[in-house]
Structure 1
Amino acid sequence: MTPTIWRLLTGRTFASFASALVPTTLTLAVVRTGSAADLGLVLAAEMLPMVLLLPLAGVAADRYPARRVVLASDLVRAAAQLGTGAVLLAGPVRIPALAALAALTGAAVAFGNPSARTLVAAAVPDAVRLRVNARLGVAGGIAQLAGPAAAGGVVLAVGAGWSSLLTGALFVCSALTLGGVRTPPPPRTAARAGFGSELRAGWVETRRHPWFLANVLAHGVWHLAAGLLLTLGPLIAVESLGGAGAWVVVAQVGTTGLVVGVWAAGRLPVRRPLVGVAVASSLQALPLTAFALRLPLAVTAVAFCAAMFGVGVLSPLWETEIQRRIPLETLGRVGSFDTLISFAARPLGLAVAAPLAAVTGTAAPLLVAAVLTAAANLSVLLLADVRVVDPERKPSFVLR
């Protein structure tokens, strides 16, 4: 691997682990002395800027060097987490201050996300890009597994303030590492259009790719269903599968499947990557059905593992395909629509799950979500652009 790729992988790994610490730290800090409403306020304060600022962040990703935007995002998140640590160590939890710092974190995430994708496309050669995306996926999967446990351990041992300070330090490490990444400057034009014009141009470019729009909408259904599953799944596990420990088993098995999936993504001989994405994302119908029918714990755990394995496979394939098919100069704006749908759909699923279950029971929403998820994701196979064979796509075992 080249030094640039090493720096990119190392920096993104630091950022993945730091990001994984934030939700657990905030949750434990607020619920100890606050209420459920306080926790909802803090989490909403982080989510709202993510959704509102993503379109502008896509323009910034195409207008400015991706390395600088990602660097600024890491530094802002570092400052927000160090500030959070200071607030928590100073005394009683102050919800307005935590909400303001959470909003700052959300804004930084919004700007960092599209630029991180553009940074990979600019810094990594086509020949090894899938393998790099897979390694980034492995780091993210391990972070999802280890991050909450690490945050919980630090909070219980020395307090939430120190956990936030650790998170800030990790973001600083990411920024220092990415500081050495060198990429070609973005193409310059004689006269740049305004932000509004560039945003409209990004939407025009997005509409030029039916395969992209179809997949993004299908992924939105997937995220909506995931919100239902993450809300109703634990309730069903407690009621019918053996208690809270049953959900822990299902979640840990699923995380293992996710890590194995992202590890395998660069090694599977997938000649039609978008077909692989569609099939992999449709696997989420399995755990939705298993929970709806309240199947035995072993069957449910295997179904959830298969679905998360599919997530692990589809993420690197999808990232690599959009980096390959979308022009680099518009990748930030086009990719921001993908992230926007994902950010908006999952909270919607989380929000409507309990009210729907109260009216219809838990089985009906999950079964409907299973059918819609499979239908939406498999229907994209009707598009000819989705079934195109990539003549250069071969399983890769060595990253040089």
Structure 2
Amino acid sequence: MNSLPSEEHKKMRLNIFSQLVLSKNFFALYMGQTLSSLGSSISFTIFPIIVYQITKSTAQMGLMMALSILPNVIMLPFSGVLVDKLNKVKIMLVVDFIRFSLLIFLSLMAFSGSLTMVHLCVFMFIFGLIGSIFQPAYSSVRAKVFTKEIRNAANSLTQISQRATRLIGPILGGVIITSLSPGWGLGIDAITYLISICFLFKLRSITFNSSITNKIKLNWKQDFIEGIDVLRQNSWLWITILACSFFNICSSGIGRILIPWLIIEHHHFEPVVYGMILSSSSAGAIACGVIYGMKQQLYKRGILAYLGVALSGIAVLVTPFVSNILLFMFLMFLNGAGVMLFALIWETSLQEMVPEDKFGRVSSLDFFGSFSLMPLGYIMTGWLSTNVGEINTTIILSISILLIAIAVLWNKGVRQYS
């Protein structure tokens, strides 16, 4: 941490990008992961096109996506135990090297015209498997690097960059596959992981506390229960993870199925408008992230977090009845801002409240709650849309989000979290 006069330091806090200067560790982590996230956005835009070119089948695309999610559902409850035992930075280095190697292989297969669905399915399964280890490790490293002085700004800047890569990556992916070939896109993604490895090397000196490092043999059951105990001790943590599981059931189908239907089929907006409306959600998230990052301290964060969830539910609830493009964009802006507010407060609270030696286990349980029920959300949304119609499904799911947020706020521990 650089030594700065208090007034200068205070001014720099108002600019969230100043955190790149204030912390060398944050700079290395941020740059590496932002670039690799951009590469992933490019390649995951290209994968569906490759699948359709090879098979002409949406079912095969569904199979490939299932293979990427399945390992997360199976491994995440237990991967945190492994993460808490090993050095988190080394885990990230190994995983990024495997990703680099796999993408180079796929790129070469694509250039030679030998790429098959078998290659893609194996790749997606391995990617999902190592991702279930990478995510808890990355969360643990963030908790270590995002010190109290930079925590709000660092979380905001990280979330903003992830949103930005999701906007820019698909555009670049489309340009690359149109102007060049899929092999170039996969190769560019591989290079971003190689760059990430170079940045991660700068973090090798970071040391982590661990309650299970010195054990000769892992006691999976005991170590897993220790992660559960951390959640039990704080109602804010376990209630929010449980609530998020239900939020994801509702929101996954809304975002992937209902909003596109509303824009294209219900309101009959042009494709260019479809892109503008979806981008409005990211714009709202980015705006919220910038404001959050300039705040050194927020009060009543439990209430603010669930007000953000409620805001997103209300915004979606109104969308079927709005035919004005600008108003629809404004609603999606509010939706993105509300979701981002919740995500930032949740990430910050984990970093503040979870002990370092148990962070991997708690974050793996958090990711499990996020991933495991998403397929159920898609299935439920499809079933409801078929039986009661898309408009009624949108209303039902958005009201469910709103009611869950209100119900959670009845808990005293949530309301008093600040």
Scaled by the length of structure 1, the TM-score of the pair is: 0.92
Would the aligned equivalents of 1:80 and 1:104 in 2 still touch at CA under 8 Å? no
Q: Is the 8 A contact 2:84 2:359 kept in 1?
A: yes
Pick aligned residue for 2:41 from 13, 17, 20 = 20
Over residues 38-93 of structure 1, what are the superposed CA-to-partner deviations in whole Å (9 max), with x where a residue is unaligned? 21122111111122111222112211111111222222222222222122222154
Give the one of 347, 368, 371 matched to 1:319.
347
Residue 255 of structure 2 corresponds to residue 234 of structure 1: no
CA distance in 2 between partners of 1:219 and 1:263 (Å): 24
> Does the aligned pair in 2 maintain the 1:81–1:168 contact within 8 Å?
yes
Partner secondary structure for residue 206 of structure 2: coil
Match of 1:301 among 301, 318, 329: 329
Decide whether the 8 Å contact of 2:72 with 2:372 is kept in 1.
Answer: no
CA drift of 1:168 comes to 1.0
Where do 5+ consecutive residues of structure 2 fail to align? 1-21
Is 2:314–2:402's contact at 8 Å kept on the other side of the alignment? no
The structural deviation recorded for 1:327 is 1.0
2:394 matched residue in structure 1: 366
Matching residue within 199, 202, 213 for 2:224: 199
SS of alignment partner, residue 187 of structure 1: coil
Which residue matches 2:10?
none
Question: Which residue in 2 is equivalent to 1:60?
Answer: 82
- Where in structure 1 do 4 or more consecutive aligned residues deviate above 4 Å? none
Greater Cα offset, 132-141 or 204-213: 204-213
Pairing partner for 1:82 from 104, 112, 117: 104
Deviations 1:91-129 (A, max 9, x none): 154101110011111112111111111101122322211
- For 1:222, give the aligned amino acid: F
Give the root-mean-square deviation of aligned CA atoms.
1.9
Please give the alpha-carbon distance, in whole angstroms, between the structure 1 residues aligned to 2:187 and 2:308: 38
Residues in 2 aligned to 1:327 and 1:207: alpha-carbon distance in whole angstroms: 14
Q: Structure 1 pair 199/245, CA: closer, same or farther in 2 (3 Å)? A: same
Q: Following the alignment from structure 1 to structure 2, what is the Cα–Cα distance between the partners of residues 46 and 134?
A: 27
Tell whether 2:352 aligns with 1:331: no
**2:148: which partner in 1?**
126
Per the alignment, residue 397 of structure 1 pairs with none
2:239 paired with 1:214: yes
> 1:224 and 2:249 equivalent?
yes
- Paired with 2:100 and 2:78, the residues of 1 have a C-alpha distance of 22
Distance 1:198 1:240, change over 3 A: same
Tell me, what secondary structure is at the counterpart of 1:125? coil
1:184 to 207, 215, 232: 207
1:303 aligned partner, one-letter code: L
Tell whether 2:310 aligns with 1:282: yes
Shift of 1:185: 2.8
Task: Rate the CA distance shift 1:209–1:222 in 2: closer, same or farther, 3 A.
Answer: same
Distance 1:274 1:248 in 2: 33
**In 2, are the aligned partners of 1:240 and 1:294 still within 8 Å (CA)?**
no
**Do the aligned partners of residues 172 and 141 (structure 1) sit closer, same or farther apart at CA in structure 2, a change above 3 Å counting?**
same
Q: For the residues of structure 1 that align with 2:318 and 2:108, how far apart are their CA atoms?
A: 45
Match of 1:87, SS state, is helix
Summarize the Cα distance change of 1:287–1:27 in structure 2 as closer, same or farther, 3 Å threshold. Answer: farther
Equivalent position of 2:3 in the other structure: none
Alpha-carbon distance change, 349 to 22 in structure 1, aligned in 2, over 3 angstroms: farther
The residue that corresponds to 1:396 in the other structure is none
CA contact (8 A) 2:210 2:356 kept: no
Shift of 1:27: 0.9
Out of 144, 156, 167, the residue aligned to residue 178 of structure 2 is: 156
TM-score scaled to structure 2, two decimals? 0.88
Quick one: structure 1 residues 79 and 195, their matched pair in 2 at CA, closer, same or farther if it must change by over 3 Å?
farther
Q: Distance in 2 between matches of 1:110 and 1:185?
A: 20
The Cα of 1:295 is off from its aligned counterpart by 4.4
SS of residue in 1 equivalent to 2:150: helix
- The 3-state SS of whatever aligns with 1:127 is coil
Match in the other structure for 1:71: 93
Q: Are 1:87 and 1:98, in contact at CA under 8 Å, matched by a contact in 2?
A: no
